[in-house]
């Protein structure tokens, strides 16, 4: 099993989407690469993210990048949908240099690579989000989410066929 931290805007929807993907073993809502060292906030400089534990024999980093690009506007800086601010930036963070290399290779292989605003950085710190943010959309399905409902259910349906 391997772990990568994926930021795609508001973590509620990102977690709801990622946990439906083949090969994903576990998810946890959190925040990556901030400037404060606290468990209870403030979350200065952090990107909302989903700690994603996955089986690399089923899903690769390249696959995870494809999935991420399904749910984000890769050109947007500090914004996804109606959510605006530094914490809603998109990115991939890891302590494994191979994950970062795979993410950069994926971005560099695209014809629009020069326009992509997804950051790819080593994970410098991580804070688990409060319990109220864990699996939030499962508990509160009517909350706002920038990811269309059809995408949130796309792989859930495929897994149950």
Catalytic residue set? 10
Given the structure tokens 């991420």, which residue do they identify?
68
**pLDDT number for residue 37:** 65
**pLDDT number for residue 161:** 43
**pLDDT number for residue 52:** 98
- For the chain, what is the mean pLDDT? 91
What are the E-state strand segments in 9-156? 24-32, 47-54, 79-80, 83-84, 90-94, 119-122, 126-128
Q: Which domains does the chain have, with CATH numbers?
A: 2-155 (3.30.1060.10)
**pLDDT number for residue 159:** 53
Sheet with 126-128: list strands edge to edge: 119-122, 90-94, 2-8, 47-54, 24-32, 126-128
User: In which residue ranges of the chain is pLDDT below 70?
Assistant: 37-43, 157-161
**pLDDT number for residue 35:** 80
**pLDDT number for residue 160:** 45
């Amino acid at each position: 099993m391997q772990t990568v931290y994926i930021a795609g805007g508001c973590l509620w929807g990102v977690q709801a989407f990622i946990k439906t993907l083949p090969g994903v073993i576990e998810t946890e809502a959190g925040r990556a690469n901030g400037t404060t060292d606290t468990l209870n906030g403030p979350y200065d400089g952090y990107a909302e993210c989903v700690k994603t534990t996955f089986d690399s024999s089923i899903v690769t980093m390249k696959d995870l990048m494809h999935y991420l690009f399904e749910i984000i506007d890769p050109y947007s800086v500090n914004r996804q949908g109606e959510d605006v601010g530094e914490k809603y930036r998109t990115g991939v963070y890891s302590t494994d240099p191979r994950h970062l290399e795979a993410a950069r290779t994926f971005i560099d292989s695209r014809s629009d690579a020069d326009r992509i605003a997804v950051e790819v950085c080593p994970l410098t710190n991580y804070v688990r989000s409060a319990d109220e943010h864990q699996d939030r959309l499962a508990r509160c399905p009517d909350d706002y989410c920038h990811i269309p409902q059809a995408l949130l259910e796309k792989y859930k349906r495929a897994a149950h066929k």
